[in-house]
Amino acid sequence: MAAPMSSVGKPSAERSPFNTTSFQKKTRSKLISIPGTRPSVQNGQLLVSTGVTSLDYLLGGGLAVGTVILIEEDRYDSYSRMILKYFLAEGVVCRHELFVAAAQDNPDDILQELPAPILDDVAIHKPVEQPRLSCEAHNSLDAMKIAWRYQNLPKVQSALASSSRFGHYYDVSKTMEPEIRQAAKCHRFYPTEHPTQSSPTHSSMPESYSALLKSLQEVILREGFDVAAPMSNSRNILRIGLHSLGSALWGDDLCCHDNPRHGHALTTFLYGLRALLRSSLSVAVVTVPSHLIQDRALMGSITRLCDNAIALESFKGSERETNPLYKDYHAEPLPSRPPLPSPVPTPEALEQENPKLGNRFPPNTSLSFCLYSPPRSSPVAPNA
């Protein structure tokens, strides 16, 4: 067995502290790779994770960059809010930029409630130490006697899972550490903070929607998410979370009246949002309190203007909560429209007639969507 060399005066400066080998994978440099994204196997579109891996599966691998997913809120806005937080937390972990807009709560409150990511053991770079004298290396307790070749490698520490993974797991019972959260760049939009400028031209949208659209466009152009922007080596994704659009707090009377005055304000906003998304590297999650909207045709238009749509029906407070068959399920996500994967459409296995999807919570720590048939009312006879 070779003894460690006594003169370790010169540290291996030419070798990168990370790699043990000099092998580097040859990548086709044509496709820019953005952390936290991967190309779809079906049509080569760039996908990002929604934060809930089972929802990614339902969407065909993830959310395509440049698209919107509409979440029709459940009655108490519990699970739709949770999906929104998962989406934002995934953005923090993947080091994407965030844009949060909410009218009911301050966006900062939403950002403080993000679920904590489940940590991975990953080697992180330790700061390069001064080269020690050989005698110190001998005498120091840290000196390895057997595996001395690994002396200079970084120690393994618990850290954030590497951003090259797609989809992470979260612990809902804990909130994200402030240090992790503050590492991500967040843009906020809170309607009461924005002074309403009197628009010179008559607009078909209430002030808050116009201001939100304008703010989104500004952020996209300023931070370089525009597809037309000059290609630099580092591109990033902007994750947009819009909470409870259409509710009265946005200045929209869609949920208040049967014949709203600005009946098409939300659809016009969604059209503008679609225009912004298609021309930038961003993804949006929009939640809408659809249970308050009476006009089914309008709801259909809203759904059609988004690329994906799911509706959540919570069992809380309904007769299903007390029904013992449903005791393991908390809510029911229904695809309110078959997802539209583009370019050439291939329908997913999620037509309306399919078995209902149950949302199962192992002991209150994580969110996942599982495909289950609805519980049978008559017990299946056991094998004799």
Binding to other proteins, residues 93-132 (CB under 8 A): none
Please pick, from the candidates 29, 198, 201, 378, the single residue that binds other proteins as defined by CB under 8 A.
201
* Minimum CB–partner distance for residue 91 and other proteins (Å): 23
- Map residues 44-73 to x or -, x wherever contact with other proteins holds by CB under 8 A: ------------------------------
Please pick, from the candidates 349, 380, 381, 384, the single residue that binds other proteins as defined by CB under 8 A.
349
* Minimum CB–partner distance for residue 203 and other proteins (Å): 7
Please pick, from the candidates 165, 274, 291, 360, the single residue that binds other proteins as defined by CB under 8 A.
274
Of 125, 116, 102, nearest in space to 171 by CA = 116
231 in contact with other proteins (CB under 8 A): no
CA distance 276 to 280: 6
Record the tokens describing residue 162, joined without a space.
């590497």
CA distance 94 to 69: 19
Please pick, from the candidates 62, 260, 272, 335, the single residue that binds other proteins as defined by CB under 8 A.
272
185 in contact with other proteins (CB under 8 A): no
Look at the alpha carbons of 296, 298, 304, 310 in this order and tell me if their dihedral is positive or negative: negative
Please pick, from the candidates 134, 340, 361, 372, the single residue that binds other proteins as defined by CB under 8 A.
340
Binding to other proteins, residues 240-269 (CB under 8 A): 263-264, 267-268
Q: Name the pairing type of β-strands 329-335 and 308-314.
A: antiparallel
196 in contact with other proteins (CB under 8 A): no
CB-nearer residue toward other proteins: 175 or 279: 279
* Minimum CB–partner distance for residue 329 and other proteins (Å): 23
Please pick, from the candidates 297, 380, 381, 384, the single residue that binds other proteins as defined by CB under 8 A.
297
Return the HEC string of 188-247.
EECHHHCCCCCCCCCCCCCHHHHHHHHHHHHHHHHCCCECCCCCCCCCCCEEEEEECCCC
Q: Name the pairing type of β-strands 282-288 and 63-64.
A: unpaired
- Give the H or E element holding residue 83: helix 79-93
